[in-house]
Amino acid sequence: RKPVTLHRLREMHAQGEKITMLTAYDATFARLVDECGVDCILVGDSLGMLVQGHSSTVPVSLDEMVYHTRCVARGNRSAWVVGDLPFGSYQESREQALRSSVALMQAGAHMVKLEGGGWTADTVHFLTERGIPVCAHIGLTPQSVHALGGYRIQGRDEAGVETLRRHAKELTQAGAAMMVLELMPSAVAAQVQADNPGVMTIGIGAGNATAGQVLVLHDMLHVTRGKLPRFVRNFMAEGGSVEDAIGRYVSEVKAGHFPDESIHAY
């Protein structure tokens, strides 16, 4: 297939075609995810838990993200690669964020992702103006797990909803092309997308009204141990192979069947 570009993703969004995203942290899985037709690969800092065995994403370093982005870029042929800016690599200043983003882009990312609300808008604008496409990330932001008091659903009360809507608007106005919405009621995610029709919202535990969906690869293949959140569907149980599971994820998201509002949403 032809390489997935930002232009192509925007076209899909404009035409109402759902955007698919999965994580990958190495060349073998990047190649497989790409060949199964997933639009975007996220080199997520969730690798801190899935690959490195940490209990949060907080310990992950920029050098480690660069290493995994390089691995993914070597395996990938055509998917759009999003690289996560890890904790501590963009909070200090927009100049620090630029240096960290350059490192990820030179390792093979096409876009960088950073967590946080309106306080990151200045950085998003700074990066966007300098030729770096940015994916924002609001709702549950795992790098702030210790400040949030655990992996909890965001936007539960009126004040929380207003905060999310304000942040989404500020980030969109700052130039974020894409925005991960993590762990919030479906109605809130739907409202954020309606408020900002131009931004490509990518949901995880945020219902079915977003422009696209993302899952952690290990979770949807059910190789992650322990209790999984209810927004995860075990695609491996339904097919005989990893390839089939990933292909099924793509077709279910494209058809609007995953996530199912009655099972995987809040």
* Set 129, 162, 182, 252: catalytic member: 182
| Bridge partners, residue 42, by sequence | 23, 82
29 vs 26: CA distance, rounded Å: 6
Q: How far is CA 166 from the centre of its chain?
A: 20
Stretch binding ligand KIV (CB under 6 A), from 44-52, 72-80, 104-112, 165-173: 44-52
Q: What angle do CA 32, 216, 10 make, to 5 degrees?
A: 75
Q: Which helix (H) or strand (E) holds 83?
A: strand 80-84
Residue 108: count other Cβ atoms within 10 Å of its Cβ.
18
- Tell me if 45 is assigned to a ligand binding site: yes
Closer residue to Na ion, CB minimum distance, 57 or 191: 57
Is 182 a residue that touches Na ion (CB under 5 A)?
Answer: no
Binding segment for Na ion (CB under 5 A), chosen from 15-23, 78-86, 92-100, 190-198, is 78-86
From CA 219, how far away is CA 258, in angstroms rounded? 15
Question: Which of Na ion, ligand KIV, none binds 19 (CB below 5-8 Å, type-dependent)?
Answer: none
| Interface with Na ion (CB under 5 A), residue from 34, 45, 182, 219 | 45
Select the span of 4-12, 42-50, 158-166, 245-253 touching ligand KIV (CB under 6 A).
Answer: 42-50
Does 182 participate in catalysis according to the annotation? Answer: yes
The β-bridge partners of 179 are: 136, 201
DSSP 118: G
Question: What is the β-pairing status of strands 134-139 and 40-43?
Answer: unpaired
Candidates 164, 214, 250, 265: give the one binding ligand KIV (CB under 6 A).
Answer: 214
To the question of whether residue 84 is assigned a binding role by annotation, the answer is yes
Q: Return the structure tokens found at 198.
A: 């131009």
Of 45 and 170, which has the nearer Cβ to ligand KIV? 45
Would you call 161 helix, strand, or coil by DSSP? helix
d(CA 101, CA 114): 10
Residue 23 near ligand KIV by CB under 6 A: yes
CA distances in angstroms from 61 to 11, 149, 174, listed in the order given = 34, 22, 26
| 139 touches Na ion (CB under 5 A) | no
Taking residues 78 to 117 in sequence order and writing x for each that binds ligand KIV by CB under 6 A, - otherwise, the string is ------x---------------------------------
- Residue 116 in the binding site for Na ion (CB under 5 A): no
Return residues touching ligand KIV (CB under 6 A): 23, 42, 44-46, 84, 180, 182, 204, 214, 216
Residues that bind Na ion (CB under 5 A): 44-45, 84
Residues forming the active site:
182
